[in-house]
Amino acid sequence: SRVTFYYHMYGSDMGALALETSADGVAWNPVWSITGQQHASGSANWTRKQIDLSGGTVRKIRFKGTTGAGYRGDMAIDQVTVTTGEGSGPPVAASPWSKSGKHIYYADPEGGNVGIGDNAPTADLSVLGNLSRALTGYVSITAGSRAVTGEETLLTEELRVGESLLIGSEVFTITGIGSNTALTVDTTPTASVTNAAAYADSDLLIVETGAEKAALVVDRAGNVGIGVAVPKAKLDVAGGIKIGNENETVCDAGKAGTIRYDDAGKAVEVCDGSGWSRAGLQGERGSTGAQGEQGLQGLKGDTGETGPQGKRGPAGSQGPPGKAGQNGADGADGADGKSAYQIWLDAGNTGTEADFIAFLKGEKGEKGDPGTIGSVLNLEPLSEVPENATSGNVYFNSSGALCVYIDGGWAKVTGNGACVNSAIDLVAYYPFNGNVNDESGNGNNGTVNGATLTVDRFGNSNSAYWFDGNDKIIVNALNNFEWGDKFSVSVWFKRTGQWGNYQGIVANGYYTNGSWEIRMGRENSGTMLGGGIVTSANNATWDHVHLHASQNQWHHVVMSYDGNNLSFYLDGELKGVSTRDVGNLIAKNTPLTIGKAGIGKNNEYFYGAIDDIRIYKRALSIGEVRDLYDF
């Protein structure tokens, strides 16, 4: 016998709590007591206590609380449970109903019906309620957690992984057992449960005998095992099955599937709903019989009606042209013709061949007036630009352009292509044909940092680069390049209109000796195009900052320097010239940068597309600039 309860004692002037027992209700014996504050706060967990009462006769128990001197303490008890031992000995005839500690009722002490949870059994064994078993001790589980903790429990001895566990009103499946006081389940509870009784395998029945540990097992899925601890089917039997035929004579639809043993025929029979048939093993397959004779051929059927004509199909594609015929045979040689001298003689003239030649030359006439150019002028195409040209010289190049030398440079009159030999003094050429390679042959290849390929001004895919205000292309090969006193930069660009600061288009530095740059300025909401150079003789030539370049359109800009003049072109037109004694561009220890201002300006990025960058180590003429614009 034992008593179990929970208590809570909190307060600065806490008294004492005691448990006393009595055998007659007059004399009381103290069996347990505790004094002083036992809990740190009013919300602290209660303490569970279990006291063994089996040492003597106990008919009554009582709790005795004594207050403290200052009356400042809270004392409480809850969930008091008293458990008595089982009765000793079987029931006697004078008391036909007796109840054991396991709630088993005996209808007749001489061997009558037995009830479990049923005090009026009508069968040899009558069970009322589920077949659960209560665990020793108490368990707790918190909402949102799968961990179960026990107090005074024997989890490893009483449970197995995979069994059901009823806690409160919820059923869980055990997934792991860590110790006698800790296990885990498959799901989390909807609400926390504290210090509750737990029940295992509420739908499992196991009948054990001395011969077999699990003589009869009914699992949670309804499978029944005889001599099998873990049944795998609705009926799982370890060993033989004996089937009798007593009273099994009727076979109708209600008995379909019934099995019986025929004592006379010594065979197992199965009812198919209308009669009994033997359920022996299937015999081996017989051999194939001989093939029968071929039957007579049937009469030929009538010809069916002609179907309607289908629609005319589409015309096929034109076939390839036929092979050319063989050349015809050569014609016969014609008669020999007369020489011009003979024809002269036949005309009545006399003289030698020398006289005939003198006759053809005639006398030298006077110099005539200058004539005009006829409607047709035949010129042989040249693959290279003529050297040492003077004003008025004309040539026809191999790309189909008619060019004239005017104002110190070649200008295109008509035709296709350009009049410029774009390979002369070409330092680098970036057409961006799917990459940032230098196609001048000088190997000044670039490196992409974030920029992506896009369409060029002709609509060709992957033929220009797009910059989103945080991208650039670096050409480290042009670091420390000797620019000298002449150079030109040609570039196509299309801006989006987005801006926040200066936007570098192409540069080798920023506002220090040896640097040059083409950029969009901050002036007029970022719509102004400019550029300049910084040389060894003059620290700034930065005059072209008032050129408007419309957004979302391709523009061509050229900056050309000849040692004294810095010329700036936009879309094939000269926009301005700065004349200064500026000297040489010295070598600068910075790379070429595309899509961003030079090293030292980390926030001056370009928004838009850039294409076809050409860098020359010479000044371009206005005719060459126009050819690049028309290219």
What are the pLDDT digits (tens) for 247-291?
A: 677 889 888 888 887 777 677 888 888 888 887 666 677 788 788
Q: Are residues 581 and 443 in the same domain?
A: yes
Q: Which neighbouring-strand residues pair with 183?
A: 148, 177
Q: Which of 310-319, 407-416, 617-626 has the highest mean pLDDT?
A: 617-626
Sign of CA dihedral 617, 623, 625, 631: negative
Q: What per-residue confidence (pLDDT) applies to 129?
A: 52
Structure tokens of 160? 């197995």
Q: Are strands 528-534 and 515-520 parallel, antiparallel or unpaired?
A: antiparallel
Q: Are residues 413 and 495 in the same domain?
A: no
**3-class secondary-structure state, position 359:** helix
How many domains are contained in the chain?
5
Q: What per-residue confidence (pLDDT) applies to 85?
A: 62
CA distance 594 to 491: 10
pLDDT band of residue 98 (cuts 50, 70, 90) is very low
Average pLDDT over residues 377-397: 67
Average pLDDT over residues 171-188: 94
- DSSP states along 279-339: --PPPPPPPPPPPPPPPPPPPPPPPPPPPPPPPPPPPPPPPPPPPPPPPPPPPPPPPPPPP
For residue 214, CA distances in Å to 102, 223, 242 come to 22, 14, 20
Q: Are residues 543 and 586 in the same domain?
A: yes
Which tops the pLDDT comparison, 391 or 110? Answer: 391
Residue 601 has pLDDT above 70, yes or no: no
Q: What per-residue confidence (pLDDT) applies to 102?
A: 45
Q: What per-residue confidence (pLDDT) applies to 117?
A: 60
Q: Of the candidates 291, 244, 251, which has an alpha carbon nearest to the alpha carbon of residue 274?
A: 251
Q: What per-residue confidence (pLDDT) applies to 418?
A: 63
Last residue of one domain, picked from the residues 153, 181, 203 = 203
CA distance 523 to 526: 5
Last residue of one domain, picked from the residues 148, 182, 203 = 203
* Contact criterion met (CB below 8 Å) for 114 and 105: yes
Residue 96 has pLDDT above 50, yes or no: no
**Percentage of residues in the chain having pLDDT higher than 90:** 28
pLDDT band of residue 92 (cuts 50, 70, 90) is very low
Identify whether 333 is part of a domain.
no
> At 138, which CATH number?
2.40.30
Structure tokens of 364? 């030298």
Identify whether 21 is part of a domain.
yes
Q: Are residues 430 and 415 in the same domain?
A: no
User: Which residues are within 8 A (CB) of 273 and not within 5 positions of it... i.e. 6 or more apart?
Assistant: 251, 252, 253, 255, 256
Residue 406 has pLDDT above 50, yes or no: yes
Q: What per-residue confidence (pLDDT) applies to 100?
A: 42
Identify whether 521 is part of a domain.
yes
Q: Are residues 469 and 516 in the same domain?
A: yes
> At 68, which CATH number?
2.60.120.200
Residue 101 has pLDDT above 50, yes or no: no
Identify whether 211 is part of a domain.
no
CA distance 489 to 558: 6
Average pLDDT, the chain: 80
**3-class secondary-structure state, position 606:** coil
Structure tokens of 290? 């001989």
pLDDT band of residue 134 (cuts 50, 70, 90) is confident
CA distance 591 to 472: 12
pLDDT in tens, 9-31: 998 888 899 999 998 888 999 98
Identify whether 324 is part of a domain.
no
Q: What per-residue confidence (pLDDT) applies to 528?
A: 83
Q: What per-residue confidence (pLDDT) applies to 90?
A: 47
What residues make up the domain containing 621? 426-630
Q: What per-residue confidence (pLDDT) applies to 360?
A: 64
Q: Are residues 501 and 621 in the same domain?
A: yes
Residue 93 has pLDDT above 50, yes or no: no
* Contact criterion met (CB below 8 Å) for 227 and 221: no
Residue 605 has pLDDT above 60, yes or no: yes
Q: Are residues 613 and 558 in the same domain?
A: yes
pLDDT band of residue 543 (cuts 50, 70, 90) is low
Question: 401-405, 473-477, 627-631: lowest mean pLDDT where?
Answer: 401-405
pLDDT in tens, 559-576: 998 888 888 999 999 988
Identify whether 186 is part of a domain.
yes
pLDDT in tens, 144-153: 999 999 999 9
- DSSP states along 94-116: TSS--B-TT-EEES-TTT--EEE
**3-class secondary-structure state, position 441:** coil
Burial class (CB in 10 A: 0-12, 13-18, 19+), 326: exposed
Q: Are residues 385 and 442 in the same domain?
A: no
* Contact criterion met (CB below 8 Å) for 549 and 495: yes
- Residue pointed to by tokens 């060993």: 239
Average pLDDT over residues 408-436: 78
Structure tokens of 97? 């109903």
Average pLDDT over residues 425-453: 95
Q: What per-residue confidence (pLDDT) applies to 428?
A: 96
pLDDT in tens, 283-339: 677 788 788 788 788 788 788 888 888 888 787 777 787 777 777 777 676 676 677
Q: Are residues 574 and 618 in the same domain?
A: yes
For residue 25, CA distances in Å to 18, 65, 82, 565 come to 17, 18, 17, 126
Q: Are residues 432 and 581 in the same domain?
A: yes
Q: Are residues 505 and 432 in the same domain?
A: yes
* Contact criterion met (CB below 8 Å) for 497 and 630: no
Identify whether 289 is part of a domain.
no
Average pLDDT over residues 433-444: 95
Across 496-526, b (16+ Cβ under 10 Å) vs e yields eeebeebbbbbbbbbbeebbbbbbbbbeeeb
- What's the whole-model pTM score? 0.40
Which tops the pLDDT comparison, 384 or 628? Answer: 628
Identify whether 348 is part of a domain.
no
pLDDT band of residue 154 (cuts 50, 70, 90) is very high
**Percentage of residues in the chain having pLDDT higher than 70:** 74
Q: What per-residue confidence (pLDDT) applies to 112?
A: 61
Q: What per-residue confidence (pLDDT) applies to 313?
A: 77
Q: In what order do the strands lie in the sheet with 472-475?
A: 447-449, 472-475, 592-594, 503-507, 515-520, 528-534, 541-548
Q: Which neighbouring-strand residues pair with 447?
A: 474
Q: Are residues 616 and 480 in the same domain?
A: yes
**3-class secondary-structure state, position 525:** helix
Average pLDDT over residues 199-205: 63
